[in-house]
Each structure stands twice: as C-alpha cells, then as structure tokens.
Structure 1
Amino acid sequence: MAGRRMSGSPSYGPPVPSDEAPGSAPESAIAVHTLTSAAKDLIEGAFPPLWVRGEVSDFKAHRNGHWYFALRDAEAQVKCVIWSSAAKRIPAPPDDGMQVLAYGQMTVWPVRGDLQFSVRALEAEGDGLWRKALERTRLSLEKDGFLDPTRKRALPAFPRRIAVITSPDGAAMHDIITVARARSADVEIVIVAAKVQGEGAPESLVSAIERVSRWQDADVLIIGRGGGAREDLWAFNDERVARALAACPIPTISAVGHEVDVTICDLVADVRAATPSAAAELAVPSRREVIARVESLGGRLVAAARRREDRAIASLSQVQKRLGLAATRLVERRRARVESLAGQLHALSPLSTLARGFAVARTPEGATLSGRDQFAPGAPFELWLRDGIVSAITGAGRPLPESIPRFSSEEGV
C-alpha cells in the first residue's frame, strides 16, 4: 500500500508525488487535524450505528446542552457524548450507576483525537429514564401547587362551545365530534389543530393552549389524543404543556390515550377522561339525560311544594289551636279581673252599706248629713234606706253612747 495512493481515497495535506503516500516521508508529513479527521472517517466507516449496553459513570451536563459520560462494564469503558440536539429527545439525563442501552456510532473527535461513542438515543433498562423524567416533572408541578385538588374546577353543566386541542388527522377528533353530536346537536365544537407526537409536539400543544386562553370564548377545553406507545404520548408529560394547561382560564379535560395511560396533563387538568370519547361524554350533557333530569326535578319540586303545603296547613292548625286556647285563657283572666274589680266596687258602694242595715240622712235638696251639728231642730230631712226613702223631722240630738250596739242587716236604724 505504501508508495501508491489507493483509488478513491481522500487526499490529506499538501500535494505530493503520486508514488508517495501522505506521511510516508518528512516531506509528505500530514497535519494533526488531518490525521484525526482521517481516523474519524476510518472509524465511522468501520462501525455502523449500533446499540451498546453498559453502566453510566462520570455524567456531566454542559451548559450548552451537551451531555458527557463514560459507558463501562467490568472489563472496559468508552467515552460517550450526547449532543444537545439528541439530548432534547431523551426524557431525562441518566444517573451514575444506571444500566442503559445506548444507540450511536463510534467516532473520533478531531480536535483532541479522542475516541468516543456519539449517542443518538438512550434507554434505561426497564423504564428508568422515563420514570425519572415523569417524577421530576411531577415534583416540580407539585411544588408550585398545580396538583392541589382544591384548585380543580367543576365543568359547566350546559356548555355552549367546546374547544378541542388534538391532531386534525387523528381518530380522537372524530370520536369527540361523533359523541358530542349524538349527545347534543346544540353544542359547538371548535378544533384547535396541534401536533401531538414527535419533535415539536410540546411547542405545538403549548401554542394551541395559549390560543384558546387568549380567545376566551369557549366554555370547556378538551386536550388529548388516541392511544399509542409511551414515546407517542410523551408530549403530554412535558412540563411546559402542563404549566400552560394549568394556566388556562377555562375548565379543562385531559383525554390522552387509553384508560391505563396516565400523563402529567391528566394530573394537572380539572378532569381526567379515560379516552377522548369519555371526554366528550363528560363535557356534553345528553339531551335525553337533561330532559329526564328536568322531569325529575319537576317531580321533586311538586312533591316538595306539597310537603311544604301540608306542613303549612298543619302549622296553621296548630297556631289556630294555640290562639284559641290563648284567647280562652285571656278571656277567663279578664273575666276574673272584672269580677274582682266589681266585687271591690260593690264593697265600696253606698248601696252596699245600705244593704247591711245602715241609713243615710240627706236634706231635701240632696246634701248628705253626716254630723249632728248639721241637723237643725224641726228641720225636715230624708233617710235613705236599702229599700226606700223615709221623710223625717229633726228632734233633739245627743252624742253616741260609749258602747255602740251591733245591728243585723234585718234591723232598722
């Protein structure tokens, strides 16, 4: 091979005679970068992209977004790099000591001549990276209160317009429209198209949510898609999507995948639906159900009115009885009081005194004579008795005796 150039091989360094290979003599020495670049081409040509199993060690995330670490086993190790463009597609950075499967290509970094494995995809054994990313996002949202059950809002009973964020080409949109129309033809469905999987899906979903939030003319928002692999649903685990959904000013329903699929959006939304069809059932009241509910409420109102009327009649009857008893007791008390006062008045009446056998002396003009000095000898006067009046003439007067005899009511004066 020395002394002649292979046909089709790249040329490195300054021009040399055709019978000399680059670097075969001091005059044909090649640059270091030429050497490392040739090694890079040689290594990449010899190793196609492949999967490698190993343990992560010395992981470092650079501020420019690149990840650096070593992949090792019991006998060897190789330096690895994940460029920022590839790191964005990996759910979470690996931890030291984590067993992973790395897909990439052996290469050489020409600047330093380092042999390294350029990783394009990374998977932890089991679902370690996915679980780690999901838990990290959940804890971040929980810290800010977005998973607090008290912030959940109730869905409106009778929405007039529902916004649906999903792919315009997916089955989810068809299912939602079909179920909603079957339940009520009066509800308007507005489709807000968004990318629901793959690169750029989180940004597309955030943009769609923000459009609905700015619009503010929908009563409910449904966000979702049909079933798929974990990677297909991962956009709905993105923290940016979850925060945008939590900030939406209207009640939200998350309907991602099937019943067994639970995403971060399901935790943040006001209501989680197992499927897009179930989301439509939750959001749109059935006309038949509404009619049955109205009839049920009408019957309950009639029954409640009748019970209220019966209670009012019974209450009025009780009040009437109590008023009757109170009036009777009041009349009896008043009657007793009147009789008592009448007795007192009767005892104080002059007629009562006359009835006890006493008499009252009066002049013919009607003036009462109560003392001996008021009677002039020979002057006429009248005696008022209990059963009549007797005319009399004044005779000689005398003082009362020391012992006054007691007279009965049957005796005269």
Structure 2
Amino acid sequence: MTGNPYLSVQALTKYVKRKFDADPHLRNVYVKGELSNVKSHPSGHIYFTLKDDSSRIQSAMFRSSATQLKFKPENGMNVLITGDVTVYEASGQYQLYAQTMQPDGIGALFLAYEQLKESLGKEGLFEGRWKQPFPQYPNTIGVVTAQSGAAIQDICSTIERRYPLAEIILFPAIVQGPQAAPSIVQAIEQAEAYGLIDVLIVGRGGGSIEDLWAFNEESVARAIFSCKVPIISAVGHETDTTIADFVSDKRAPTPTAAAEIAVPAREDLVARILERKRSIYTTLSSHIKHERKRLDTYQNAYPLQFPERLYRPFTEKLVGFEGRLLRTAQNVTGNRKSNLFRMNGMLATLSPNQRIKEGYREISGMNDRLTRAAKHDIRIRNDRFQTSIRMLKALNPLDVMERGYSIVYQNDIVTNSVATFQVGSEVQIRLQDGTVNATVQSITTNDGEES
C-alpha cells in the first residue's frame, strides 16, 4: 500500500479547483436565490449565502463589483446574480463569485431609491423644521445645472421676464453619468462659498430614471441639506420625484417653475406698489379730515367765540377795586388839605415871627406826616391792587381749564351748585379744547343725598 500515490489535501483541492475553472458551464452562470448572512467588509467586499428551499452556496462579491450596485444587499432579499463558480482552496468549498446583482421582481434603481429615501427620512432630513425661508426680493440667483442644457435657458428667460433686477450666476455641473453626483456636490459647495447667492436652483431637464439618477445619490442629498443657501430643486418633469426634491427647501416641478418660485413677478410688484400708494393716500386723506375737524371744533369753541363773557365779571370787579382805590386816595388827600387850611388859620392868630416859625415847623411836620401817610396808603392800596390782580388771574377760567377743570353751563348760565340742576336737565361742559353736551342722570350732594 505504501506504493500508492497518495495526494495531499492541498493537491486534491487544487485539482478540483482546476476542474471547476476549466468547466465553461461554471463561467458567467445565472443564479437566483435569497440572500442570508450578508456581511459588508470594511475593505468593500460583500460576503453572503445564496439559498433556496433546498440548497445554499457561499458567495462573495469583491469591491470592484460591489461599488457598481445601486442598492444595499440585505438579508431576505431575492436577487438575480451573474458570476463564476470556483473552489475556495482554504476551506475546500465551492463558492459563487458574483459579478452583478439585481433585485428579483423589482428594479435595482427603484429599490436603491426606496432604501435611501427611508434611511434619510429616519434621520429627519426631510422634516419641515429644516426648511429655510426664501427672501421676498432676491438680488442674486444661483443655478447648478448643465451649462449647455435647456434648463438654464428656461430659468434665465423666466427670471429676465419676471424680475430683471435679479442677477443670475451659473455654477456648471455634470448632471448625468458616473461623474454627475461629485460634480453637482462641488457646484453646490462653490455656490455656498460664493457668499452672495440669495436663492440656489439645482436641477436639470427631464429624462429616464437613469438620466436623473445623480439627484438620487446620497452625497447630493447631504450637500443640499448642509447648504446654508435656500435651495429649490427642479429635476425633470412634474411627474419625476427625486431624493433631492425631498431634502431641498422647496421643490419645483420644472426648471421654469423653479424660476417662478425664486423671484416675484414684475406685474405683481407694480400692483402691490399701486395698492400701497392708494392706501397711503386714503390714510393721509382721513388724517387731514380728522385734523381739519379738530381745527373747526377749536375755532367754534365757546371761549373763542365769546371770550369776554368768561372774564367780564372779573373785569367788573377790577374796575370796582380801581374806583375804591381812587376814592380812598382822594379822601385822604382832602382830609390832609383841610388840616393844612386849619393850621394856616391858627398861624394867623399868633405873632408874626413866632407864628411863622411854629407854622413852618408844624407845616413841615404835617407835610412829612402827610407824605408818609400818603406813601403808606398808596403802598397798601397798591398791594391790595396786586393781590386783586393775582386773585383775578387765579380765578381766570381759561387758566383753570388748562389745569384740567371745566365750566358747567345751564341755559348759557354758569352754575356752581347741584341745587340748580334737575334729573334730565341738558347741560354744557366747557373744556379747554371744546364743549361737551350732557344730560343729568343723577344728583348727589356732599352730604351723600341722592336725587
């Protein structure tokens, strides 16, 4: 037995592997089954088991092929795979090395779209609290799209027609193909770094789901979410919906609609200005009418129409005081003159020299007393006169009304006692700036009696 050629395990495994590799039926095989034990390695490789109701096979997809997947393989997913079958020498097991993979019964792009939509939705990127407000009158509109596409032409013509004051700045990007997503991300970052963009439109014209796929990439979605400039997504036609539409601040069905959202219409602004003009004119007219009415009220106020009636009683008192002062001064002067005549008569009965000397002394003394008395009396009368003037000023109804008081008239007669009023009487209350007509509802005396 020792002469038999025994093979090592490695040699046997290599032989079996060569048989597998040489079999053309194990090249580019088409296999369908259910994924299980899916593991994504940090290197980018994907390891999984492909099974059906009766069998299973260990499988792997290397990074070069895995990066081409549009969806994320998950346990329980039914897939269609093309690849090669060979032997893994380390374990001696045969394995399937997948080259392509697509969902069984559903499109790979649609599945990838739904997976990313669900993932970003759970993160909250679609929530309204993150949506940024748009300026009412933007100065600069940024556009991220293809430089030669129809989208930029539609956007420019719409903005120039509706709001020619806005400046349009194009940030060109590739919007279709493998390089589209990085190009769109770079253009969005350039627009934000520019610093003067008020609104950013990101989009392109219509196409198939493959043509629009760059706007379903996670990198584009996160770039839109992170941008500090308000973004309007305008991808494809009205029926096309992309991940960019959900994460952007506002979605427009077409690039033309995005331009209409970004800027106001010139006709609307003109109409708004005319409406403001009419409103200002109406407000000013109403204010002028109100102030003119106030002026008429002041001009027709009772104190201005008949001012003499207010201070006539005080004028009469002042005239009376002046008359009394004049009569008193005349009486004092007359009495002094009488005394002077009497003293002159007495001097005539005395000896000439002695009588003259005594007369001079007496006359001089009387003259001094008369002068002092007259000055004293005049000073007292003047003080009384000044006091009367101050009293008149204090009692002046115009001054009193300026301090918040009023004058009550009944039948054009000033009244100052509740005894002159009856319930239901018509009264006029004169204030500083006008007259109030009122009716007596009730009367209460200082003793608390009410009628």
TM-score by length of 2: 0.60
Aligned residue in 2 for 1:277? 256
2:123 partner SS: helix
Distance (whole Å) between structure 2 residues aligned to residue 27 and residue 301 of structure 1: 100
Provide the residue aligned with 1:342 in structure 2.
316
Please name the residue that 2:275 is paired with: 300
State the alpha-carbon separation in 1 of the partners of residues 27 and 67 from structure 2.
25
AA at the equivalent of 2:133: R
Amino acid at match of 2:320: H
The residue type paired with residue 134 of structure 1 is K
The 5-angstrom pairing of residues 362-401 of structure 1 reads 363=334, 365=336
String of CA shifts for 1:58-117, please: whole Å, max 9, x gaps. Answer: 2222222222222323222232323333333434434433x3223222422534343333
Q: After superposing the two structures, state which structure 1 stretch, 163-172 or 329-338, moved more.
A: 329-338
User: What's the offset of the Cα at 1:332?
Assistant: 6.1
Question: Aligned to 1:228, what secondary structure does the other structure show?
Answer: coil
Partner of 1:267: 246
Q: d(CA) in 2 for partners of 1:49 and 1:166?
A: 41
Separation (CA, whole Å) in 1 of partners of 2:7 and 2:81: 42
Count residues with an aligned counterpart.
Answer: 337
Matched, 1:213 2:207: no
Q: Name the aligned partner's letter for residue 115 of structure 2.
A: K
**Quick one: which amino acid aligns to residue 153 of structure 1?**
P
Once the two structures are TM-superposed, the CA of residue 339 in structure 1 deviates from its matched residue by 0.6
Q: CA deviation at 1:157?
A: 3.0
1:311 aligned to which of 269, 286, 294: 286
- Match of residue 133 from structure 1: 116
Alignment of 1:202 onto 2:185? no
Unaligned segments of structure 1, at least 5 residues? 1-23, 369-374, 380-413
Match status 1:114 vs 2:93: yes
1:31 maps to 2:5? no
Q: Distance in 1 between matches of 2:120 and 2:24?
A: 37
Measured at CA, do residues 101 and 331 of structure 1 come closer, stay the same or move farther in structure 2, by a change above 3 Å? same
Q: Distance in 2 between matches of 1:52 and 1:333?
A: 112
Amino acid at match of 1:135: E
Q: 1:261, CA displacement in angstroms?
A: 2.5
Give secondary structure in 2 for the equivalent of 1:31. helix
| Partner Cα separation in structure 1 for residue 263 and residue 325 of structure 2 | 96
User: 2:67 matched to which residue of 1?
Assistant: 88
Aligned partners of 1:102 and 1:263: how far apart in 2? 26
Deviation readout 1:373-412 (Å, 9 max, x if unpaired) = xx99x99xxxxxxxxxxxxxxxxxxxxxxxxxxxxxxxxx
2:48 paired with 1:60: no
- Structure 2 distance, partners of 1:364, 1:276, is 116
CA distance in 2, matches of 1:330, 1:179: 67
Q: Contact 1:36 / 1:108 at 8 angstroms: preserved in 2?
A: no
* Distance in 2 (alpha carbons) for counterparts of 1:347 and 1:152: 84
Residue 219 (structure 2) aligns with: 240
Greater helix proportion: 2
Q: Which amino acid aligns with 2:85?
A: T
CA distance in 2, matches of 1:35, 1:244: 53
AA matched with 2:26 = A
Q: Distance in 2 between matches of 1:190 and 1:129?
A: 33
**CA–CA distance in structure 2, aligned partners of residues 235 and 45 of structure 1:** 37
Q: Does the 8 Å contact 1:91/1:129 carry over to 2?
A: yes
Q: Deviations over 1:190-215 (max 9, x none)?
A: 54443334434322221222233333
> In 1, Cα distance between the equivalents of 2:210 and 2:36?
26
Q: CA deviation at 1:311?
A: 1.0
Query: Cα RMSD between the aligned structures?
Result: 4.3
For residues 111 and 68 of structure 1, the distance between their equivalents in structure 2, rounded to whole angstroms, comes to 16
Q: Which amino acid aligns with 1:152?
A: Q
Gaps of at least 5 residues in structure 2 are 347-451
- State the alpha-carbon separation in 2 of the partners of residues 27 and 298 from structure 1: 97
Q: Measured at CA, do residues 295 and 30 of structure 1 come closer, stay the same or move farther in structure 2, by a change above 3 Å?
A: closer
C-alpha separation between the residues in 1 aligned to 2:28 and 2:189? 43
Letter in 2 for 1:228: G
Q: How does 1:155-166 map to 2 (within 5 A)?
A: 155=135, 157=137, 159-160=139-140, 162-166=141-145
Q: Give the alignment partner of residue 80 of structure 2, picking from 62, 80, 102.
A: 102
Partner of residue 12, structure 1: none
What secondary structure, in the 3-state scheme, does the structure 1 residue paired with 2:86 have?
strand
* Identity among equivalent pairs (%): 28
